[in-house]
Chains A and B, each alone.
Chain A
């Protein structure tokens, strides 16, 4: 674990970053001029640094205690089910959904011999759990990206993907079927950090809880 007296907050790079920085700014925490090539950034609060990285890395760093807290999408938490961290607060940022989708006009010849349905997914654990819970025997094909093109290429009959507006699905001739989960950014806290650095972390958690409640008009 990061052994210093200070704390490290991890923020996910990408579309969540600016929203996360804005949210922290509302609590009074300003991150000093993030430089692209640097990962660790000072803030206006003494002993608080911000780490910017890929969401999955932020989740791992917090779970292993190298960072004390972080903001990541709940899709990562559902997919990897990390131990050793609290998923303290739904920050209501970056809201989207994980869905199943299939071609609007399926090619009957595309189905694999034997009749077992094939599903392409980046979030393969979530996909496997969804079909298992539904009692459906499927073959999960794990892809790193480009999932929405897989049915057109005849690789699979259905996909599991993260959807915001649904435009990409429509452009690839896909129709949304089941919503597996609603996704949004979560505040995650390393369990040991909450104990050892509770005096620093608890006020931040309380501030974020208040701001989120004010923004959504509903308290926790």
Chain B
């Protein structure tokens, strides 16, 4: 037997009631972003790889699933990240308006086989055309609201800076730079030394810890004006997050996976999750690939990873559904549906309300009108 029902590694369906929770919650989060002025966009599922891929991002290249366009013969890529798409949409449709706030929701494809979640379901927001720290603080605080609305009661934040590594590694050959950055990301200082990393880069790997220790730790970077400016930006975001002091830390060696970040970056974690649940940061050079140099900052958050924490208040819709026997008139059914109550119409041969998973059914009362009878109540009375 071919077992054709099996899905590829790292790919899964979402079933009721979780799928209903995901749909409702994603709508709620988009509305939350809308309340902050972020307009929804629906980026294309795939486009030419030259638009999606960045010269400096080998990892993004490996993650991007590719196919040949049978129309043009050119190489297409299925998106593995939203930021380049949002930057293209801003640069070609909104520029030079500023600031412009965009948000989105959709699936990505991570073609590389190692991950257990190869189709992350992301919701995110991007703010274009503002280079100030107030913009970075705005998106980080919006992420914090989204996490709270997603049932994450306590989050832990790490703030870093994507520009520090780029500045300190500017004279290194590109291939060595990539290896050193990979070693820095795993805090493997011995490997950095073996690769010939300069001392100031190795120092970055030691600059992490609680926010309370930030000023003392970063005094080692004093003297270099670019480092001083970067450190001040990290400090401003730490202060601006609005999180309890004990829940904020800094890590100047960690950019959480994306090399296109040019300024402050942040990542959110939560107890019970073994990996990052959301991340974001400033990426001021991405849009220049599409014709305009634009300041940009944003975040995204993986709803699939958060599924177990999502508020499930309306997840029991199936049990609340009302079973309507075939004789019930359309008007009665429409009225119930308009009031928000799900109604399931009887089908020929079905086994009644309970077999259809309904928690209630329509019955004729003594006056000859259709009335909802809650089956659960009836059961408790037996």
Contact = CB atoms under 8 A, between A and B. Distances in A.
A193 B269 CA distance: 9
B5 interface: no
Interface in B175-222: 186-191, 208-210
Given A199-B210, A202-B209, A87 B187 contact: yes
A58 to B, nearest CB: 14
B373 interface: no
Given A192-B269, A195-B158, A195-B249, A88 B274 contact: no
Contacts of B187: 86-88, 189
Interface in A1-54: 1, 3
B143 to A, nearest CB: 15
B275 A84 contact: yes
B273 interface: yes
B152 interface: no
Contacts of A220: 189-190
A190 B187 CA distance: 12
Nearest to B183: A87
Nearest to B202: A220
B276 interface: yes
Contacts of B275: 1, 65, 84, 191-192
A198 interface: yes
Nearest to B115: A83
Interface residues of B, number: 27
B274 A65 contact: yes
A192 B272 CA distance: 9
Contacts, number: 60
Contacts of B210: 198-199, 202
Dominant secondary structure of chain A at its interface with chain B: mixed
B186 A86 contact: yes
A3 B269 CA distance: 12
Contact of A192 (B208, B246, B251, B273): B273
A65 B267 CA distance: 17
Contacts of B191: 87
Interface string A40-81: 000000000000000000000001111000000000000000
B276 A191 contact: yes
Contact of B276 (A87, A88, A192): A192
Contacts of A63: 274
A3 B272 contact: yes
Contact of B249 (A65, A87, A88, A198): A198
Contacts of B158: 195
Interface of A: 1, 3, 63-66, 83-88, 90, 189-196, 198-199, 202, 220
8 contacts: A1-B273, A84-B275, A86-B187, A87-B191, A88-B188, A192-B274, A196-B156, A198-B210
